[in-house]
Chain A
Amino acid sequence: MRTTLWPQAFRIRVTRALALLTVILSALAAPAHADRLDLIQKRGSLIVGVKSDYPPFGMLDADGKLVGFEADLAHDIAEKMGLALDLRSVTSANRLQKLEDGAVDLIVATLGDTQQRRQIATLIEPNYYASGVNILTRKDSGITQWSDLRGRKVCATQGALYNKAMAQRYLLDLQVFNGTRDTKLALRDGRCVGYMYDDTSIANDLLQPEWQDYGMPLASAMISPWAIAIARAEKGGRLETMLGNIVADWHRSGRLIALEAKAKLPPSDFLAKANTLWNAKEVDGQPVCQRLPSGAWPVQCRNKALLSSTDVGGLYGLSLMIREKTGFNITLLHDHYDQRLFLTGLLTTLEMVLVCIVGSVAIGFAGAALMRVRNPVVRGLTVTIATFARMTPPLLQIYVVFFGIGSYVVTRYGWSFDGFVVAAAALSLYAGASNAFSIATALKLAAPTHGGNPRHYRTEVFRLAYVPVMAASVNVVKATGMASTIAVPELIYASTGILAEQGNADVMINLLMLVYFLIVLAVVRLFSLAERRIMGSAVPVGSDGAIEAEGQKS
């Protein structure tokens, strides 16, 4: 029989010491205070802090009682816990302090969920509501998306956190005023097209008769979810779990949507999406959002803005780690929605490139043919159209067809134009007009040289027309981005959309520039390849050719 190295008695002593250490450590980890839930249950009532100055979320009614959306939520919590409710008024300045003091058990007080706040309080997941930025504008303003505001004067109130970010993301011309009253007056006086502010506050303004001609037409941006909060020390405790389950139930049952409607708030996108998410089932019938063994919710049910690289693995984790280390937010690495948007943009741009090159060359040949017919009227008309098309900006041509003729047609025949078709047609016409002149010139110059050999003639025409046609094609490729101005979902549209949502202008705009540059480069290379194939010669393309053509455009 082998004897152990350590005597039996010693081993027992070590085990005992370890057990003691574990107890001490766990006591330190969960500070030595009574569980708040015990205290609440002993007291028999739940003390909830809500706002009194933020209608319709928290306000005082005629009897001085605290009412509103968040007060309703507090009633619901107390009822589910079988407790009496004691509502207290808190303000933005003191709400977290009151939690820390223990003056209130929890707050439901328009508290935005941020990383910093998670350091000083325990924020309940899931979030129960979300606010964002929106604009108050006249109902007849014609504004339907944020990009409609690019470069326009937009009124804002000094000190609002999102002013700078929004101005950058949507290139707004912000007119900043002191206080909400001044800003609203400025909007009234027509000094700006809209007033940018919290959507929740605008929703309340819209209930007032003085704003009946106004609306909130955009999808809210910079969505900031709100969280119920309890004291920091309650992290990981029973109260946190209980409240989390209550909020999850609210999302599943549609209770939040019902209370939102009761508060006369416009239906929020956030609640609709949360309702779908929390009712979603896996293929095996299990709910997608149920607590993991660790007690946490699955990643897809949590606030994505607050995840860190330790919460997730794979590409998502890598992408978050890059953001934490370098500040670059490469959402394209993990966000499927952004990926699809960008890929659609890329394909649309490539499609536009192809259609425009083929279209402009076809128009060029057709135009050149028409310029050489006997009939002087046809000839004159072709030259006039081609000249006009070349001497007016393609952007205006797109606007004339899409908005100008488009609005005529839609009001009279109810038929609306497709943006892609309009942009492709206008750009093809613009480049095709210059092609028509170059091809016509080439046909004229090559005519005396062919000596009856049609093959020689064709090569000669090709040689003469090649450089200007290639230059026009490269130019039209560069101009395809103009389609974004009429909301064709191409690369620029997709990129500016993603950066507006994610706030990663540095990443997206550099990527956009790079991808576009590569597309242009590829087109140039393909042209020189085609030239070598057809001409059988290795005429160096690029250096002076493209610009000679620019000169010829004059």
Chain B
Amino acid sequence: MSFDAILHTLVTWTPYLAEGFVWNILVSLVSMIVGTVIGGGLALLRLSPRRILVRFSLGVTEVCRNIPTFVFLFYLAYIIPVEIVYDGGVFSFPAWLKAALALSVAVVGFVSDNLSVALREWRAGHVMSALLFIPNWTSYLLIIIMASSTASVIGVGEIVSRCNTVIAAVGNNDLMLWIYLYAMLWFFLFSFPLTVLMNTIKARMQKRAV
């Protein structure tokens, strides 16, 4: 396959792959939101004066930290039925939502740990140190976006699974390398500038916090 032909194929399929990348971001955001709400609750409990609540929160956090999300993805895929009948209605449980929930377990651990530190700083009056949570949270979002590619293994139509669809549709094995590299580039171009930006913000905040 000539270079021109490869380039042409990549350009042709770009809108399709871009739509897939939107799914990666959507899955990641949903998992960040779910994980932040639950993890935030755990962080608050960790600062509670009651020892039993603190212990409970630490226990749940520890479990969330040690659950392998990739395995959990399979777990939810097999355990949650595709459709749930409740109160006479049939509710479908799409694969992307299962993926988001699986990833949110890691987020719960992260938020519980980081937010409890930030809350402590906040209560001690170290506002700038507490606000470091925001760039840290954004950086973790990037980690989750990387991990969202694993949603392809349970059939979520995100960018990696769309790569496989394109390869099957074009039917040329030599294209495989280029299409996967192209998808990698999407991830890199999305996360590199954001990482640099977050590091800069963080460095500035740390300077002001001292």
Contacts and interface: CB of A to CB of B under 8 A. Distances in A.
**Which of the listed residues B78, B135, B181 has the most CB atoms from chain A within 10 Å of its own CB?**
B78
Contacts of B78: 168, 171, 499, 505, 509
**Which of the listed residues A151, A388, A485, A544 has the most CB atoms from chain B within 10 Å of its own CB?**
A151
B122 to A, nearest CB: 16
24 contacts: A151-B156, A168-B78, A171-B78, A391-B192, A392-B184, A393-B187, A395-B150, A395-B153, A395-B160, A399-B163, A403-B176, A403-B177, A479-B68, A481-B71, A492-B71, A509-B79, A513-B72, A513-B75, A516-B71, A524-B66, A546-B65, A554-B140, A554-B142, A554-B199
Contacts of B155: 150-152, 171, 173
A19 interface: no
Contact of B113 (A474, A509, A547): A547
Given A513-B71, A554-B143, 19 more contacts: A391-B188, A392-B184, A393-B149, A393-B184, A394-B146, A399-B176, A403-B177, A407-B174, A408-B177, A477-B68, A481-B68, A510-B75, A512-B71, A512-B74, A513-B75, A517-B67, A517-B68, A543-B113, A551-B114
Given A512-B75, A544-B117, A407 B176 contact: yes
A396 B187 contact: yes
A516 B188 contact: no
B174 A408 contact: yes
B139 A404 contact: no
Given A193-B168, A393-B149, A399 B180 contact: yes
Interface residues of A, number: 59
Contacts of A553: 139, 143
Given A393-B160, A396-B184, A516-B68, A550 B174 contact: no
A492 B150 CA distance: 14
B31 interface: no
Contact of A393 (B117, B139, B147, B176): B147
A424 B5 CA distance: 33
The dominant DSSP class at the A interface is helix
Contacts of B79: 505-506, 509
A193 B152 CA distance: 17
Instruction: Determine the interface band of chain B, counting residues with CB < 8 A from chain A.
Output: 35 or more
Contact of B180 (A151, A152, A396, A509): A396
A400 B184 contact: yes
Contacts, number: 161
B58 A543 contact: yes
B9 interface: no
Interface string B176-194: 1110110110011001100
Contacts of A510: 75
B19 interface: no
Contact of A478 (B70, B153, B192): B70
Contacts of B192: 387, 391
The dominant DSSP class at the B interface is helix
Interface of A: 140-142, 150-152, 167-168, 171, 173, 193, 387-388, 391-397, 399-400, 403-405, 407-408, 411, 474, 477-479, 481-482, 485, 492, 496, 499, 505-506, 509-510, 512-513, 516-517, 520-521, 524, 542-544, 546-548, 550-551, 553-554
Interface of B: 58, 62, 65-72, 74-75, 77-79, 82, 95, 109-110, 113-114, 117, 135-136, 138-140, 142-143, 146-147, 149-150, 152-156, 160-161, 163, 168, 171, 173-174, 176-178, 180-181, 183-184, 187-188, 191-192, 195, 198-199, 202
A477 B70 CA distance: 11
A520 B66 contact: yes
A396 to B, nearest CB: 5
A547 B66 CA distance: 12
Given A387-B192, A505-B78, A509-B74, A407 B173 contact: yes
B181 to A, nearest CB: 6
**Which of the listed residues B70, B71, B117, B187 has the most CB atoms from chain A within 10 Å of its own CB?**
B71
